Structure 1
Amino acid sequence: MRNETRTVHLVRPGDCNHYGSLFGGTAMAWMDEAAFVAATRHARAKVVTVHADAMDFRHPVPQGSIVELVAWVKEVGRSSLRLEVEMWVEPIEREERRLACRAGFVMVALGPDGRPKPVSPL
C-alpha cells in the first residue's frame, strides 16, 4: 500500500475565474503543496520542486465544491522523488466524487548546505 498525503480545500469565490471555476494556477499551487508535504514526509528534509509534468484537467472545479488532493511518492532516486497528485472534486449538495485533475512532480531533497541530499528508497 502506498503512503498517501491527503489535503482538503473549499473552493471559494477568490479561487475562481469569471466562469465560476477554479483557476488553473490555484489548482497547480494546491497540487504542488500536496506533493511537497508527501515528499517531506518521505525525505524528512527540506525539499524543493524541480519539475512539474503536464497537468491533465479532466473536469472543471466549480465554486463551492470540496476538493481533496491525494499525493504519493511514486519513485525515489538518489536525492530526487517523483510524486503523483490527484485532485478530486465533490459537489456539496450530493455524494459524488470525480477526478478533476492529475499531475506529476519531481522534488529534490536538500541538506543544510543547500546541496542535494540522499533519501531513503521506497
Structure 2
Amino acid sequence: MEKKPCSNSLAVKTSHVLPPDTNTHGTLFGGKLMADIDDVAAIAAVRHSRQPVVTASTDSVDFLAPVKEGDSICVEAFVTWTRNTSMEVFVKAVTEELLTGERKVCTTAFLTFVAVDENGKPTPVPEVYPETELEKLLHENAPLRAEERKKRRSNSKGLADRFGTNYPWHSERNL
C-alpha cells in the first residue's frame, strides 16, 4: 500500500448552533459536539483507508471554551498516525461568534478507528506521513498516546470483568 499524507484525510464540517442544539445554559450540548466529532473523524479515517471503519476509542475530548447559541462550530479532523489496521485521528473544533468574527478553539480530541472488511474483520491500512510541523508533532507523539490507550483499555477490561453484568451494589450487598 502506498503511504498517504495526513492532509489527504482532512474532513471539515461547519454548523450553525441553533436552540435545539443547546442546554439550559444556552451552550451547545457536549454530547452533540461529541457526535459531530465522531462523525467527522470517521470520515477522515475512511478517506485515509478507503475502507469501512469502526470507532475503537475516544482518548480524550477536552472542552476548552463554550459554544453559544448563534455561534458556528467548525469541526476538523485528519489521520495523524497509523498502525497495521488502526488509525489515530486528531480533531479540533473552532467556535466563531458570527457577528464579531471572534474565533476560539473550543475542543480538541483524539480518536482511534479500525478499518474493517466486508466481514467486519480488521483490515490493513496505508501508512500516513506528516508534512507540516504540527502534523509532525502529532505523528511523533502518537506512539506514546497509543501506549496510554493500551493501558487504559486494559484497565477498562479489568473493571468490566470485575463489575460484570449485574449492578455492583446488588452483588456486594447480596440483594
TM-score by length of 1: 0.96
Unmatched 5+ stretches in structure 1: none
The one-letter amino acid paired with 1:75 is W
Count of paired positions = 122
1:90-109, Cα deviation, whole Å (9 max, x unpaired):
01101221000011000000
Selected match of 2:15 from 9, 22, 42 = 9
- Pairing partner for 1:53 from 55, 59, 82: 59
Question: Any gaps of 5 or more consecutive residues in structure 2?
Answer: 129-175
Aligned CA RMSD, in angstroms, stands at: 1.0
Query: Which residue matches 1:108?
Result: 114
Q: Which has the larger radius of gyration?
A: 2
Instruction: Answer yes or no: is 1:99 the counterpart of 2:90.
Output: no
The yes-or-no answer on 1:27 pairing with 2:49 is no
Using CA pairs under 8 Å that are at least 6 residues apart, name the structure with larger relative contact order, 1 or 2.
1
Mapped to 1, the partners of 2:59 and 2:66 lie a distance apart of: 19
> Equivalent pairs: percent with the same residue?
34
Q: What are the equivalent positions in structure 2 for 1:38-77 lying under 5 Å apart?
A: 38-77=44-83
Q: Give the helix-richer structure, 1 or 2.
A: 2
Flag the structure with higher strand content: 1
Indicate conservation of the 8 Å contact 2:70/2:98, yes or no: yes
Which residue in the other structure is 2:94 paired with?
88
Q: Deviations over 1:55-101 (max 9, x none)?
A: 11110000111111110101001000000001100011012210000
TM-score, normalised to structure 2, is 0.68
Residue 95 of structure 2 aligns with an amino acid whose one-letter code is V
Cα drift, residue 113 of structure 1? 1.3
Aligned-partner SS, 1:112? coil
| Distance in structure 2 (CA, Å) of the matches to 1:68 and 1:23 | 15
